[in-house]
Amino acid sequence: MYDYPVTVVEADGAHLVFCPDLPEMHSVGDTVEEALREAGDGIITALSIYVDQRRPIPLPSEPTEGQYLVHLPALVVAKVALWNAMQERGMRKADLARKLGVKPPQVDRLVDFLHSSKIEQVENALQTLGKKIWITIEAA
């Protein structure tokens, strides 16, 4: 569900990565493989920009021919879902903190994609907003 399609372009021996769904995302690598590994970090950085600017995070579009997919970790996906659920309700971090009965810094960490929150904490916050996490395992 959160596999973002990216385009890789070679220029002057470097491989540049762009994501049409997240125009703030840019990444580079010496090889296609390295560029795609770096793209994951680039996407997470771009997602953080959306949170900083208090904007909803766009869902990934369907890939077109020649694009690669960058898969996000499950915890990041859960945090994106939490952030978007908050945005749908016009809810600020302080509002969620009150609803959860926690201090605001705890909610800051729940929507910080670089913080290693426990998935149970994110799941609890999502349940508070009427959302449920479903995990499926598929062949790679």
Structure tokens at 113: 């994609």
pLDDT of residue 64: 96
Q: How far apart are the first and last CA of the chain?
A: 14
pLDDT of residue 80: 97
Question: What pLDDT, on the 0 to 100 scale, is given for residue 2?
Answer: 82
What is 3-71's CATH topology? Double Stranded RNA Binding Domain (3.30.160)
Residue pLDDT, tens place only, 30-53: 999 999 999 999 999 999 999 999
How would residue 99 be classed by pLDDT, with cut points 50, 70 and 90?
very high
Q: Identify the pLDDT of residue 139.
A: 87
Q: Find the mean pLDDT for residues 96-119.
A: 96
- Domain residue ranges of the chain, discontinuous segments joined by +: 3-71, 74-128
Confidence at 25, pLDDT banded by 50, 70, 90: very high
Q: 63-94 in b/e burial notation, b at 16+ Cβ within 10 A?
A: eeeebbebebeeebbbbbbbbbbbeeeebebe
What topology is assigned to 74-128 in CATH?
434 Repressor (Amino-terminal Domain) (1.10.260)
